[in-house]
Amino acid sequence: MKNFIALFIAFVFLFQACEQKKEEPKVEIIGQPELTLTGDRMTPEVLWAFGRVGGQEVSPDGNTVLYGVTYYSIEQNKGNRELYTVDVNGENYKRITESPKSEYNAVWRPDGKKIGLLTSESGSYQLWEMNPDGSGRIQISDIEGGITGFKYSPDQSKILYSKEVPIENKFTDIYAGLPQATGRLNDDLMYRHWDHWVDTYSHVFYADYDGSKVWNEKDILDGEPYQAPLKPFGGIEQVDWSADSKSIAYTCKKLTGKAATLSTNSDIYVYNLESGKTMNMTQGIMGFDVAPLYSPDGKYVAWESMEREGYESDQNRLFIQNLETGKKTYASKGFDQNVGGLTWSDDSKYIYFTSDWHGTFQIYRFGIDNSKIEKLTEGLHDYRSVTFSGEKLIASRSTMSMPTELYAVTINDGNASQITFTNKDLLDQLTMGKVEERWMKTIDGKDMLTMIIYPPDFDPNKKYPALLYCKGGPQGPLSQNFHYRWNYQIMAANDYIIVAPNRRGVSGFGQAWQEQISGDYHGKSMSDYLVAIDEMAKEPFVDENRLGALGASAGGYAVFYLAGIHEGRFKAFIAHDGIFNEEAQYLETEEMWFENWDKGGPFWEKDNKVAQEAYAHSPHKLIQNWDTPILIIHGELDYRVLYTQGMTAFNGAVLRDVPAQYLHFPDENHWVLQPQNGILWQRTFFAWLDKWLK
């Protein structure tokens, strides 16, 4: 998702720790903006004060973990990412960079003597190197336009990297003599994507490297008009070196224009440096094939694969090819879960990965010799990335009550020890609400897990307002993520009980449960929402007369739809970037494979019963029933769900004399990424809820 993370540059936060003991580390955070806590409750300002940990890399000798932390300045409305190291046992914590320019894609050089990283100190993002303690920093690349990611070859003789290649304007004759013309002329689809106009391709290059510079740049796509890595979410993890440094495997969807909008069929291609030839390794597999990863011994390549063309939420499977025999194996066959974030053991005998199941992400491994999948961890938390380190795994972990930190997980028993304590100082001052798992029966007798988050200092003898959280997606996990906008604990800190059902469409409960929502946004998932809030409304500590519903994207659709059918249950609604008019959405968005799969096809296919049923239940057709206050939020740079969806919903509410507010962000996309906008979002959010529910 790096295409959506603002590369905030400026204010430097000095984050430094004293020598710490493993049992009770003493962490001193200095240089943060002045923050006065008004109590022990979460606030928007506290939420933006947390350091955001990510990108762990274990040194070649297996002893040291390199990682990054991003801090934000509310005053300057910017963020800055710095690099740190810590031993795998949690000792010898060090900050190794201190710069107003953020550092990204930091990795160990194969010999362990240097750390490579991307920063924009020279004006564009280039490859720099430094010693493991942060000293001796020098610029290695000087690529025109900068680069977006890189990897060292195993033999350290070359570097592959990705960069943006401008798309040639096919209408140059028409633009002749008009240097200030701003009009965009297009004659095919996919002219813009998620939050940007498509003016460039992302391509993979490689170059020679001698420890001080790179040269002899070679575009392995040879100017082809395709994206590699795939936009908008793909990064350098979609490219890998073979163990002998002679080949590069990369992810690419070799389609353009209308064809690219209709298909999800990406493949893994292998480019041979010596011959200059390219081979399609996944020919015939019609869904997404991404993230190839060669085994350290050079015998195998693993990747993540989906089966069906057009279904972007198909089951993510583990595939492995034996490079000696050419045999491909569907390694996770029979494992009714998604597979992601692959990493090999050093001896090439195991592949470790994370997978969501029943509202959590856990660590699993696949054995090459026995072809078995083992679950290594348990608990109410999310492990979202994992790196091999001998007898341990270094993994990032979060909960609904704690931002991401790094843990050392013992492989033989799954026990975990926290090794970074980035946010300990703030967390020690806060009281979090209890998180509870509840299983409920749906109207058709299915078991549905619902997460309940209680206010801090919860008193069962009091009555609290409750909020129904409607998940976006519509597919994907509802797990233990610590979100920086839809944060359950900040809602609970404002004395609301949060009800978050894993309704139909949520992953981690088998593929059939996830797939049910396609073509049926209005059906069983809506009844699941109502079951969850009705069940909780029976509790003596829930005030059934003070219920709200809120959500974003497909969750915004749910809010708009519930506003037309709720029969007086709710007293307030909040919809962010929600789909209001399904027919308009079909022609306003750009990934047509999504609309065709989830709606069953275009609205003009009158004989298509699935599609006609879906469009017949568009939320805008229920606006005559709206009678409940609603807050609508949208970003103008959201090209996935256009801001006009939110604007038309707001206009309709006002015309019907329904109390409404519309918060419009001209410089935000499908998310809210800037600190001050994020705080404005939170303040508006709670002011609206407090007005109607308290």
Domain count, the chain: 2
Task: State which of 263, 296, 330 marks the end of a domain.
Answer: 330
Pair 304, 436 in one domain: no
DSSP letter string, 4-20: GS----SPPP-B-----
pTM of the model: 0.94
Predicted local distance difference test score (pLDDT) of residue 122: 86
If one counts every other C-beta atom within 10 angstroms of the C-beta of residue 684, the result is 15
Task: State which of 301, 330, 359 marks the end of a domain.
Answer: 330
Q: Considering 59, 247, 553, 618, which one is annotated as catalytic?
A: 553
CATH number at residue 461: 3.40.50.1820
Whether residue 512 is contained in a domain is answered as yes
In the annotation, is 576 catalytic?
A: no
Write out residues in the chain with pLDDT < 70, as ranges: 1-36
Question: How far, in Å, CA of 159 to CA of 131, rounded?
Answer: 18
CB 51 within 8 A of CB 31: no
CB 597 within 8 A of CB 518: yes
3-state secondary structure of 463: coil
Residue whose pair of structure tokens reads 């690099």 in the numeric block: 83
CB 127 within 8 A of CB 214: yes
In the annotation, is 670 catalytic?
A: yes
How many CA atoms lie within 13 Å of 135's alpha carbon, on the beta-carbon side? 1
3-state secondary structure of 438: strand
Pair 308, 435 in one domain: no
b/e 208-235 (16+ beta carbons within 10 angstroms → b):
ebeeeebeeeeebbeebebbbbbbbebb
Predicted local distance difference test score (pLDDT) of residue 7: 30
Backbone φ, ψ for residue 381 (5° rounding): -160, 170
Torsion angle of the four alpha carbons 54, 57, 63, 68, in this order, in degrees rounded to the nearest 10:
-40
Q: Which domain holds residue 676?
A: 431-693
3-state secondary structure of 675: helix
DSSP state of 173: H
3-state secondary structure of 692: helix
Predicted local distance difference test score (pLDDT) of residue 34: 59
Task: Kindly report, residue by residue over 319-349, the tens digit of the pLDDT.
Answer: 999 999 999 999 999 999 999 999 999 999 9
Which residues fall within 8 angstroms of residue 442, CB to CB, at 6 or more apart? 448, 524, 527, 528, 531
Pair 303, 451 in one domain: no
Residue 583 in tokens = 């027919």
In sequence order, which ranges of 106-241 are alpha helices (DSSP H)? 172-175
Whether residue 164 is contained in a domain is answered as yes
Predicted local distance difference test score (pLDDT) of residue 622: 98
Predicted local distance difference test score (pLDDT) of residue 613: 96
Q: Considering 203, 576, 620, 670, which one is annotated as catalytic?
A: 670
Whether residue 13 is contained in a domain is answered as no
Nearest to 529 by CA among 614, 611, 440: 440
Whether residue 504 is contained in a domain is answered as yes
In the annotation, is 99 catalytic?
A: no
CB 227 within 8 A of CB 196: no
